[in-house]
């Protein structure tokens, strides 16, 4: 299969990843969305959110993997990203099994 590419900035990639994670349990909470918006400098949230809604899971993973590679994420960058993901999962005071599984799965895919 052909690799799916994006032209995202690093911040847009991180927005997309956090939106992807917020949907781990098929339900974005207001607290999760507020958390994501508090972490960004640009007004690209709606654009990236709309793109996410139009992607299936396979496309999302391909875009994330490709963009992580394109931006040359170091292990330290990935560690920082995973801290943000964990903070997002805890932002609504719940860390359910679907979120835990996604966290582990992304660890296997991205690290």
- The series of mean pLDDT values per 10 residues for the chain, 111 residues long, is 84 96 93 93 90 96 95 95 96 92 94 81
For position 13, what pLDDT does the model report?
96
pTM (global) more than 0.85: yes
Q: Is residue 5 part of a domain?
A: no
Residue 1: predicted pLDDT = 59
Q: Does a structural domain hold residue 3?
A: no
Q: At 22, phi and psi to the nearest 5?
A: -60, -25
* pLDDT for the residue numbered 30: 92
**43, 59, 70, 102 from 24: Cα distances, Å:** 23, 15, 24, 6
Residue 2 lies in a domain: no
Rg (CA), the chain: 13
Structural domain that includes position 22: 10-110
| Residue 21 Cα distances to 1, 2, angstroms | 24, 24
Q: Look at the chain and report how many structural domains it folds into.
A: 1
User: Is 92 contained in some domain?
Assistant: yes
Residue 109 CA to residue 20 CA, distance in Å, equals 14
Note the pLDDT of residue 85: 97
- 53: in domain: yes
Residue 86: inside a domain, yes or no?
yes
């Amino acid at each position: 299969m052909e690799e799916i590419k994006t032209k995202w900035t690093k911040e847009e990639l991180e927005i997309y990843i956090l939106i992807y994670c917020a949907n781990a349990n098929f339900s974005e909470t207001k607290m999760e969305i507020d958390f994501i918006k508090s972490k960004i400098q640009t007004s690209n949230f709606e654009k990236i959110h709309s793109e996410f809604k139009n992607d299936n899971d396979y496309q999302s993973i391909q875009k994330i993997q490709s963009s992580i590679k394109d931006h040359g994420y170091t292990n330290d960058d990935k560690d920082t990203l995973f801290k943000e993901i964990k903070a997002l999962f805890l932002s609504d005071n719940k860390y359910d099994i679907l979120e835990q599984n996604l966290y582990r799965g992304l660890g296997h895919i991205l690290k």
